[in-house]
Amino acid sequence: MRDPYSVLGVSQNASDDEVKKAYRELARKYHPDNYQNNPLADLAEEKMKEINEAYDTITKQRSGGYSGSSPGSYGGYQQRSYSSGDPVYANIRNLINMGDLNQAEQLLYEVGQKNGEWYFLSGSIAYRKGWMDEAMQNYVRAVQMEPNNMEYRQALSVMQRGTMGGYRPAGYSTGMDAMDCCTTMMCLNCLCGGGRC
């Protein structure tokens, strides 16, 4: 296993607070919410596991071998799993999770009656492929047909947030919204083009 301190990117003699801060930042970065239905979700999960282990190891070492669940740990994050009543849809969900999109798409086309879940799954496949426009249209349809379904609404709201959701490193998170028209113009001139440097 890698040195837990280098996993968190802090030095051996960092204070407890610094360790915690570094851990929190990384946990925010690799949080499963940022990688929902993302083809790279498994990589994010691995990273999350790695930093959780590193943080646990450090807290254990520092508390003199006391083993207990560490306070700030995001430890047992449970992936919200939704299940499907229909076995065909359950199968399709499985295929999507495994990344077998062609097979999932084919099974979905064989389903005769299109309900909210059909559109939701169709949207999920499109989203995974990176076909964001189609994903959006399908999610909208799904929510229209079953407005009370939290799963569909959540998927749609993630897309409606655009770049405002998800993780951004410190320093990149603010500013863009607050800019008025005039500042934008000034900034645009600075896109590695205008003026001298």
Partner 1 sequence: MFGYVRPFRPELKCKDFDLYRATYCGLCRCLRRRYGLIAPMLLNFDFTFLALLLWEPEEGFTPCRGRCHANPLRKLPMCPDSPALELAADESVILAWWKLRDGVQDEGPIKGLPARALSLLLRPAYRKAARRCPTFDGTVRDCLAELSALEREGCPSLDRTADTFARLLQSAAPREGERGRVLAQLLYHLGRWIYLADARDDLEEDRQSGRYNPVAARYGPAGDDGALRLTMDNSLAQMGAALQLGDFGCRTALLENIVYLGLPLVERAVFDGTWYHIKKQKIWRNDT
Summarize as ranges the residues that interact with partner 1 (CB under 8 A).
29-30, 34-35, 38-40, 43-44, 47, 126, 129-136, 159-160, 162-163, 165-169, 171-172, 176, 184-185, 187-197
**Measured from the CB atom, is 88 or 101 closer to partner 1?**
101
Q: Where are the alpha helices (DSSP H) in 15-131?
A: 16-29, 41-62, 87-98, 101-110, 116-129
Q: How far is the CB of 16 from partner 1 (least distance, A)?
A: 26
DSSP result, 2-23 = --HHHHHT--TT--HHHHHHHH
**Measured from the CB atom, is 29 or 60 closer to partner 1?**
29
Specify whether the CB–CB gap between 18 and 10 falls below 8 A.
Answer: yes
**Measured from the CB atom, is 88 or 105 closer to partner 1?**
105
Give the chain's end-to-end CA distance (angstroms, integer): 45
Q: How far is the CB of 93 from partner 1 (least distance, A)?
A: 21
Q: How far is the CB of 85 from partner 1 (least distance, A)?
A: 30
**Measured from the CB atom, is 38 or 94 closer to partner 1?**
38
CA 117, CA 132: separation in Å to the nearest integer? Answer: 18
